[in-house]
Amino acid sequence: MGGVARGARRVGGGRGGVGARRVSLLVVGSLAYDTVETPSGRAEEVLGGAATYFAYAASFFGPVRLVGVVGDDFRPQDRALLADRGIDLRGLTVAPGRTFRWRGRYEGDLNVARTLDTQLNVLERYRPAVPAPFRDSRFVFLANSPPAIQESVIEQVAPGALVAMDTMNLWIDGARAELARLLPRVGAILLNDQEARMLSGEPTLVRAGRAILRLGPKVVVVKKGEHGAFLFSEDFFYALPAYPLEEVTDPTGAGDTFAGGVMGYLAQAGRADAAHWKRAMLYGSVVASFTVEEFSLGRLRRISREDVDARYRELLSFTAHP
């Protein structure tokens, strides 16, 4: 395409479309080897991790920059899998030791994972360093990490980026002060329904979403798994059912690929107004619907942007009003 403009463009101010500046998207988070049991079966030592899922999902929309750490046991074919998708791995540290491991099980209710074992390994001492060529990223996703680490990434990127974050119960419980300091510094938070209730202390998602807006982010996205998602902002509210699936094999990575679809679409469009956020939510939902159809990246590896667009149109038609 080559039409890269020189000047910085404000998020939300771009025109998008053919020939527009390719706005850069950065993700900082974990790469993992997962062992997962679900009612459909079991997958052992498969490629996982929030940043992995996010980056792969976002790569359907444009280039992605990844910052994270793996151990010296990280398989060359997994590295190649990401690189081949246009994921820039100059921010991927290979540290002596083992890659982060997660072991989990899903039982009747596929919305809830039971963590059986977590081995942080190389993740334990890792502090993300954003390489100089990544610092001009205009869209940044802070995948689930301790909030102090997430905040350290904000310090390393140029001001004016749209920074979105995820979090989890562990930090809501154990690092609330750090989280409270971080929230006013991000443009958006994407979290699941349980986390939204926990962070806000509010029983209904509508109250929870509004309460979290008051903590700082301009946009709050509450992910409800198979039940879709809500978007709260000062200007508008958006409710979206999930793409309806006949089979769910493994929900692992659904939330991160949802976020990857959302941010990937916004970065590709180069703006984040209400219409783009809504379309981004639809794309996030669609990409996540593919993710859960197989273990690990199995399904995503076999689809193209055309498949994503076809399911996007289907989701639109399923939810279009008369």
Asked whether 262 and 58 are in contact (CB, 8 A), the reply is: no
- CB of 36: closest distance to its own copies in angstroms? 18
* β-strands 101-106, 113-119 pairing: antiparallel
Extended beta strands in the chain, E state: 25-28, 32-38, 41-48, 64-71, 87-95, 101-106, 113-119, 139-142, 162-165, 188-192, 219-223, 229-233, 237-240
25/269 with CB nearer its own copies: 269
**Which residue among 16, 214, 237, 309 contacts its own copies (CB under 8 A)?**
237
Q: Does 196 bind its own copies (CB under 8 A)?
A: no
Residue 322's SS3 state is coil
The span from the CA of 145 to the CA of 79, in Å, is 22
Name 287's Cβ contacts closer than 8 Å, sequence gap at least 6.
57, 60, 257, 258, 260, 261, 264, 300, 308
Binding-site string for its own copies from residue 3 to residue 42, where x marks contact by CB under 8 A and - marks none? ------------------------------------x---
Q: Does 238 bind its own copies (CB under 8 A)?
A: yes
The alpha carbons of the chain give a radius of gyration, in whole angstroms, of: 18
- Strand (E) or helix (H) holding 146: none
Q: Does 282 bind its own copies (CB under 8 A)?
A: yes
- What is the CB neighbour count within 10 angstroms for residue 301? 12
Q: Does 240 bind its own copies (CB under 8 A)?
A: yes
Q: Does 230 bind its own copies (CB under 8 A)?
A: yes
Candidates 76-84, 143-151, 240-248, 253-261: pick the segment binding its own copies (CB under 8 A): 240-248
* β-strands 101-106, 237-240 pairing: unpaired
Q: Does 319 bind its own copies (CB under 8 A)?
A: yes
**Which residue among 77, 247, 304, 306 contacts its own copies (CB under 8 A)?**
247
169/204 with CB nearer its own copies: 204
Candidates 71-79, 112-120, 175-183, 233-241: pick the segment binding its own copies (CB under 8 A): 233-241
The span from the CA of 140 to the CA of 242, in Å, is 24
Torsion of CA 249, 262, 189, 199, to 10 degrees: -30
135/278 with CB nearer its own copies: 278
Q: Does 320 bind its own copies (CB under 8 A)?
A: yes
Q: Does 116 bind its own copies (CB under 8 A)?
A: no
Q: Does 204 bind its own copies (CB under 8 A)?
A: yes
- CB of 122: closest distance to its own copies in angstroms? 37
**Which residue among 32, 143, 149, 248 contacts its own copies (CB under 8 A)?**
248
The DSSP secondary structure of 209-253, one letter per residue, reads HHHHHHTS-SEEEEE-GGG-EEEEESS-EEEEPPPP-S--S--TT
42/127 with CB nearer its own copies: 42
**Which residue among 98, 181, 185, 278 contacts its own copies (CB under 8 A)?**
278
Q: Does 188 bind its own copies (CB under 8 A)?
A: no
Q: Does 239 bind its own copies (CB under 8 A)?
A: yes
| Interface residues toward its own copies, by CB under 8 A | 39, 203-207, 224, 227-228, 230, 237-241, 244-248, 274-276, 278-279, 282, 316, 318-322
